């Protein structure tokens, strides 16, 4: 103030001081007058907003580099950055009297400018919402930082279609007509594309969508065509909690869009929401040819094999390069095989790169093609193959990925340490400085270990003590879809100490778990298995080499001491029994179309087990509890291939009483102690099919069915031509294809014929359901059991006996539902008939 009273005299003498002070003074009111300058060398001087919530100033990045930025009180985070590159300590930010705002680096070169010279700018100000505006004499600002966002959107900021957030190679946009939010890599590859939720018409064309985040933590889309409050698209998980918190949306340099919270003055930010849940699915996260995976806590980047090296040894996210380029070894290239690995393929690449060829074709086609650098074969039952042309390739490796990838290298292949060692985290030290440590120290040791290991294996493999080691070798033979070995500790952590139980079975309980890559899994804790490590591993390998769209996939296992666990993919909609036999009226009803698809899908899954896969498997426990539904209500058969794991000497698993819960589904030959074949599965399937149509248990007895077993009553009604009477009452008012219903009912009676030889094969069942094969009128399923020799048990002719058992058995409850252990039996090759019912085991009830 004093300085201003005696202006001319003093200002001549103390010009620099005056400039500084007046700048400071002006800033106190939130305005910045022309002629003010900030210096990187003095980070204590800033231009604050009226309440000092935000400030514009220099923030040190490291000792010699700075960014000029608008930041929230406490220094973190910067919500808007001046220019895209850091500057040195001699840099300055000037608000010139001609109205231009510019950033100069130490050499005096302009790094960035607002471009508003001569546009009538008279003042600048920073508001309490963090917006820097350059004002002319009108009410609308000439220039505003909110109109030129960098990587962040804060409350009161209006992010419209046409604006872009950028961070390195990544960009975020709000699409014009649809209001979709997209994340792209290098402006082309779209790895995230999310529209409005399903409560809005998908054809809705928006006029001028804009996106905003409210300070309580809701991200919304606003548009004249949308409700006045906008459409909510994301919530911060501390939504509406603490008021003195800044919540902001940011495109981070790892390519993920997140909501962060920063408490005032705390100087730190906490992640509250992320657009891409699984960080490894962000395209290019690990750079070109880098492979993303997870250690216990975070995503990590590695090279595909020792044929590669990091581009920047200090930063594994910069990607990898071949030590020898494939052009330099003509005729000597080979494919490096990578299990459980995917090369990310997103639009617009998707269509040009996808082919439907088998796994070996996927490898060899790429090897011989000069325009192919790598390929991914999906083992999810689709048989799809992605061929990648040379360019940017982004990899993802996880136990949960049903795919195998190949990348072209110059032979010989030098693999990384085996994946199981990485999964169990024993090599964490190795990973910290892989290039130094591995080459100098670990390399020779590894060679020693391998030599010694193979020597031991060679001389001691017959000794039970070394069973584990040889079993691991056996496992390696199953090249495709090899299951991942988890440690008990890892599964304990994934299931939060086996807390959330999904069901309880004869084999033990099933728990919900989440792997470090956020994959939700079902962990089955096997009990009563005293089988050798080696055989356990062999069985696990067989189960996990079985891939079909309609089979639940085994992701991995744990065999540690006495612990035996299996890790399966998690099925969101639980098991079929919940839908067929709901405990409450109000529960969801599957319409006919879904039911028919479930019936077909189940039949296809079983066909694969019986007729198409390498080691044929008889399931032995087909029932609604073992048919799971994925998020699209597609059927996935679970619990196949477990029977061999049972301790066959344990009588608990053989006695008839222990199977009462599933008796309704057991073929007569089970109860008669006769050989079990794939035809036994057909019987069980037939019962399930009848239940899918009727929504009633096949063994249910009621007044309505004249005190007869439902399946028997149903055949009588069918003979009378009363197909409608069999159909689930809840479907009567719906649109139902009665021809399909009639087909399904007839197929079910064919499947439940007493004589195994009368029942069709599963492949035939599929054709009959599809209507490809004519269906003859089925004879009555109820026939005599006389044909079976060596038994006095006359089971199914005695309906009342069966009904009594069924009625006295506790009804399978829906809580025991999904993913419980079930009996199944696996016999190799064509020798299915050999398997015997002595493998019977207890039911889940
Ligand atoms: C200053 O900026 C110019 C242009 O961006 C650049 O070429 C130069 O290397 C920078 N100098 C310093 C010291 O940062
Ligand atoms: C400022 O106001 C004057 C008169 O009101 C007008 O003529 C002039 O165009 C305005 N300048 C700008 C940049 O808006
Ligand atoms: C955002 O800006 C656009 C265009 O300037 C405008 O039409 C819209 O009303 C603004 N939205 C909000 C919520 O302020
Ligand atoms: C969005 O679409 C409207 C109408 O088609 C068009 O006028 C406008 O320029 C578009 N905006 C952007 C940013 O593409
Ligand atoms: C990014 O895209 C541009 C043009 O679309 C291309 O020239 C460039 O090579 C791409 N960058 C990378 C790293 O692939
Ligand atoms: C918008 O997002 C939805 C997913 O939410 C997607 O199905 C749709 O194809 C997207 N639209 C466009 C034009 O990309
Ligand atoms: C969207 O548009 C397509 C054709 O333009 C139409 O077939 C479809 O029924 C529309 N969907 C809705 C939900 O209106
Ligand atoms: C969809 O968005 C609307 C509007 O924001 C919201 O009211 C509704 O709850 C959302 N629906 C779902 C299923 O998330
Ligand atoms: C996982 O990786 C992160 C980042 O590289 C590292 O900080 C962390 O220590 C690693 N954790 C373990 C258990 O290896
Ligand atoms: C191919 O590689 C093998 C193993 O490295 C080497 O022995 C052989 O000489 C190479 N052949 C050619 C044609 O380069």
DSSP output for 490-543: HHHHHTTTTTSEEEEETTEEEEEEE-TTS-EEEEEEE-S----HHHHHHHHHHH
Show Cβ contacts of residue 433 under 8 Å, excluding neighbours closer than 6 positions.
none
Taking the CA atoms of 499, 505, 507 and 510 in sequence, report the sign of the dihedral they define. Answer: negative
CB of 203 closer than 6 angstroms to any ligand 7 atom? yes
Out of 275, 309, 327, pick the residue that ends a domain: 275
Q: What CATH code is carried by the domain that includes residue 720?
A: 1.10.510.10
If DSSP codes are grouped into helix, strand and coil, which group holds residue 188?
coil
776/632 same-domain check? yes
Among the listed ranges 336-340, 367-371, 418-422, 565-569, which one has the minimum average pLDDT value?
418-422
Per the domain annotation, does 538 fall within a domain?
yes
Mean pLDDT of 143-149: 96
Q: What CATH code is carried by the domain that includes residue 353?
A: 3.50.4.10
Per the domain annotation, does 773 fall within a domain?
yes
Per the domain annotation, does 385 fall within a domain?
yes
**The two structure tokens encoding residue 177:** 């007509």
Per the domain annotation, does 818 fall within a domain?
no
DSSP letters spanning 378-425: ETTTT--EEEE-SS---EEE-TT--EEEEEEEESSP-PPSPHHHHHTT
Per the domain annotation, does 206 fall within a domain?
yes
521/638 same-domain check? no
636 annotated to a ligand binding site: no
Per the domain annotation, does 661 fall within a domain?
yes
Name the residue with higher pLDDT: 434 or 136: 136
b/e code 193-227 from CB counts within 10 Å (16+ = b): eebbeeebeeeeebeebbbbbbbbbbbbbbbeebe
Contact 167, 187 (CB under 8 A): no
How would residue 58 be classed by pLDDT, with cut points 50, 70 and 90? very high
Of 333, 331, 338, give the one whose Cα is nearest residue 411.
333
630/680 same-domain check? yes
Edge-first strand order for the sheet with 257-263 is 152-153, 245-251, 257-263, 270-274
Q: What is the pLDDT of residue 437?
A: 41
Number of domains in the chain: 5
Among the listed ranges 87-101, 107-121, 499-513, which one has the minimum average pLDDT value?
499-513
If DSSP codes are grouped into helix, strand and coil, which group holds residue 677?
coil
Q: What is the pTM of this model?
A: 0.62
Neighbours of 356 (CB within 10 A): 10
- Domain extent, residue 714, equals 587-796
592/737 same-domain check? yes
Q: Among residues 151, 223, 577, 621, which one is catalytic?
A: 621
Residue nearest to atom 5 of ligand 9 (CA): 300
DSSP letters spanning 597-626: HHHHHHHHHHHIIIIISSS-EE----SGGG
Report the C-alpha gap between 651 and 670 in whole angstroms. 16
Show Cβ contacts of residue 376 under 8 Å, excluding neighbours closer than 6 positions.
341, 342, 343, 345, 362, 385, 386, 388, 403, 404, 405, 406
Q: Which of 229, 232, 234, 235 to mutate for ligand 8's pocket (most ligand atoms within 8 Å of CB)?
A: 232
Instruction: State in Å: Cα 571 to ligand 4 middle.
Output: 42
Q: What is the pLDDT of residue 508?
A: 74
Contact 73, 53 (CB under 8 A): yes
619/763 same-domain check? yes
Cβ neighbourhood burial of 733 (10 Å; 0-12, 13-18, 19+): exposed
H or E element: which one contains 427? none
Instruction: State in Å: Cα 308 to ligand 5 middle.
Output: 22
Rounded to whole angstroms, what are the CA distances from 707 to 296, 665, 812? 58, 19, 20
Out of 796, 811, 839, pick the residue that ends a domain: 796
Residue nearest to atom 8 of ligand 2 (CA): 137
CB of 162 closer than 6 angstroms to any ligand 4 atom? yes
CB of 268 closer than 6 angstroms to any ligand 10 atom? no
pLDDT for residue 717 is more than 80: yes
Q: What is the pLDDT of residue 219?
A: 95
Report the C-alpha gap between 750 and 696 in whole angstroms. 19
Show Cβ contacts of residue 19 under 8 Å, excluding neighbours closer than 6 positions.
35, 36, 37
129/160 same-domain check? no
Per the domain annotation, does 813 fall within a domain?
no
539/508 same-domain check? yes
753/712 same-domain check? yes
Q: What is the pLDDT of residue 701?
A: 84
Q: What is the pLDDT of residue 236?
A: 87
Ramachandran region, residue 507 (left: φ > 0; alpha: ψ -120 to 50; beta: rest)? alpha
Residue nearest to atom 3 of ligand 1 (CA): 109
689/752 same-domain check? yes
pLDDT for residue 650 is more than 50: no
H or E element: which one contains 679? helix 678-694
Out of 570, 604, 622, pick the residue that ends a domain: 570
Q: Is 621 a catalytic residue?
A: yes
Task: Look over the chain and give the mean of its residue pLDDT values, rounded to a whole number.
Answer: 79
| 245: DSSP letter | E
224/359 same-domain check? no
DSSP letters spanning 305-366: STTEEESSTT-GGGBEEESS-GGGSTT-EEEEEETTEEE---TTTHHHHEE---HHHHHHHH
CB of 727 closer than 6 angstroms to any ligand 1 atom? no
Residue nearest to atom 1 of ligand 6 (CA): 195
Per the domain annotation, does 22 fall within a domain?
no
644/772 same-domain check? yes
Range with the largest mean pLDDT of 128-142, 147-161, 257-271, 709-723? 147-161
For residue 610, which phi and psi values (nearest 5 degrees)?
A: -80, -40
191/57 same-domain check? no
Q: What CATH code is carried by the domain that includes residue 215?
A: 2.90.10.10
């Amino acid at each position: 103030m004093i300085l201003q009273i005696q202006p001319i005299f003093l200002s001549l003498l103390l010009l620099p001081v005056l400039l500084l002070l007046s700048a400071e003074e002006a800033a106190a009111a939130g305005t910045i007058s022309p002629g003010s300058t900030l210096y990187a060398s003095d980070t204590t001087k800033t231009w604050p907003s009226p309440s000092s919530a935000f400030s514009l100033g220099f923030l040190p990045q490291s000792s010699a580099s700075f960014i000029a930025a608008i930041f929230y009180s406490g220094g973190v985070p910067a919500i808007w950055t001046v220019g895209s590159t850091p500057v040195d300590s001699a840099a300055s930010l000037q608000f010139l009297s001609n109205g231009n705002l510019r950033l100069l680096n130490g050499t005096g070169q302009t790094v960035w400018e607002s471009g508003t010279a001569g546009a009538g700018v008279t003042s600048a100000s920073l508001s309490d919402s963090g917006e820097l505006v350059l004002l002319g004499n009108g009410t609308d600002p000439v220039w505003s930082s909110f109109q030129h966002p960098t990587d962040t959107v804060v409350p009161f900021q209006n992010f419209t279609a046409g604006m872009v957030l950028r961070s390195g190679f990544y960009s975020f946009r709000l699409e014009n007509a649809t209001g979709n939010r997209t994340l792209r890599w290098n402006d082309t590859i779209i790895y995230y594309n999310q529209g409005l939720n399903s409560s809005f018409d998908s054809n809705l064309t928006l006029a001028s969508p804009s996106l905003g985040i409210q300070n309580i933590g809701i991200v919304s889309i606003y548009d004249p065509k949308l409700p006045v409050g906008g459409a909510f698209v994301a919530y911060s998980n501390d939504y509406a909690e603490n008021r003195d918190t800044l919540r902001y949306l940011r495109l981070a340099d790892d390519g993920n869009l997140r909501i962060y919270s920063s408490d005032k003055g705390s100087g730190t930010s906490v992640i509250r929401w992320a657009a891409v849940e699984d960080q490894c699915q962000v395209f290019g996260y690990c750079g070109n040819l880098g492979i993303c995976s997870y250690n216990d806590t975070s995503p990590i980047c590695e090279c595909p094999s020792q044929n590669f090296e990091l581009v920047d040894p200090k930063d594994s996210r910069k990607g990898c390069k071949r030590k020898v380029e494939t052009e330099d070894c003509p005729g000597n290239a080979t494919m490096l095989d990578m299990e459980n690995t995917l090369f990310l393929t997103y639009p617009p690449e998707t269509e040009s790169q996808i082919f439907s060829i088998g796994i070996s074709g996927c490898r060899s086609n790429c090897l011989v093609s000069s325009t192919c650098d790598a390929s991914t074969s999906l083992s999810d039952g689709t048989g799809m193959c992605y061929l990648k042309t040379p360019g940017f390739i982004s990899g993802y490796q996880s136990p949960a990925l049903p795919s195998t990838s190949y990348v072209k290298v110059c032979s010989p292949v030098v693999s990384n340490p085996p994946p199981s060692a990485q999964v169990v985290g024993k090599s964490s030290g190795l990973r910290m400085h892989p290039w130094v440590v591995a080459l100098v120290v670990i390399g020779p040791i590894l060679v020693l270990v391998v030599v010694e290991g193979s020597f031991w294996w060679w001389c001691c493999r017959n000794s039970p003590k070394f069973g584990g080691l040889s079993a691991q070798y056996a496992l390696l033979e199953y090249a495709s879809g090899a299951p991942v070995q988890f440690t008990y500790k890892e599964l304990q952590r994934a299931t939060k100490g086996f807390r959330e139980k999904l069901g309880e079975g004869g084999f033990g309980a099933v728990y919900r778990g989440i792997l470090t890559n956020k994959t939700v899994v079902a962990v089955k804790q096997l009990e009563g298995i005293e089988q050798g490590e080696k055989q356990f591993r062999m069985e696990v390998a067989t189960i996990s080499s079985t891939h079909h769209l309609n089979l639940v996939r085994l992701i991995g296992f744990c065999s540690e001491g006495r612990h035996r666990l299996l890790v399966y993919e998690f099925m969101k909609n639980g098991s079929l029994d919940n839908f067929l036999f709901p405990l409450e009226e109000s529960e969801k009803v599957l319409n006919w179309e879904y039911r028919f698809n479930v019936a077909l899908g189940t039949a296809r899954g079983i066909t694969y087990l019986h007729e198409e896969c390498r080691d044929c498997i008889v399931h032995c426990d087909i029932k609604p509890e073992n048919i799971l539904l994925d998020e699209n209500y597609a059927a996935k058969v679970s619990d196949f291939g477990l029977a061999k794991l049972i301790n066959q000497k344990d009588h608990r698993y053989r006695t008839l009483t222990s199977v009462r819960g599933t008796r309704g589904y057991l073929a007569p030959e089970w109860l008669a102690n006769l050989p079990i074949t794939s035809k036994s599965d057909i019987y069980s399937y037939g019962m399930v099919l009848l239940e899918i149509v009727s929504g009633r248990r096949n063994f249910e007895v009621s007044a309505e069915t004249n005190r007869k077993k439902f399946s028997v009553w149903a055949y009588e009604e069918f003979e009378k031509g009363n197909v409608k009477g069999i159909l689930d009452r809840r479907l009567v008012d719906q649109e139902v294809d009665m021809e399909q219903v009639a087909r399904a009912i007839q197929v079910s009676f064919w499947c439940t014929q007493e004589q195994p030889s009368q029942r069709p094969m599963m492949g035939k069942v599929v054709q009959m359901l599809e209507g490809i094969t004519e269906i003859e009128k089925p004879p009555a399923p109820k026939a005599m059991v006389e044909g079976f020799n060596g038994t006095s048990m006359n089971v199914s002719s005695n309906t009342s006996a069966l009904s009594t058992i069924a009625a006295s058995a506790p009804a399978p409850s829906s809580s025991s539902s999904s993913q419980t252990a079930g009996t199944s039996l696996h016999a190799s090759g064509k020798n299915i008939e050999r398997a015997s019912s002595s493998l019977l085991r207890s039911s889940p009830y």
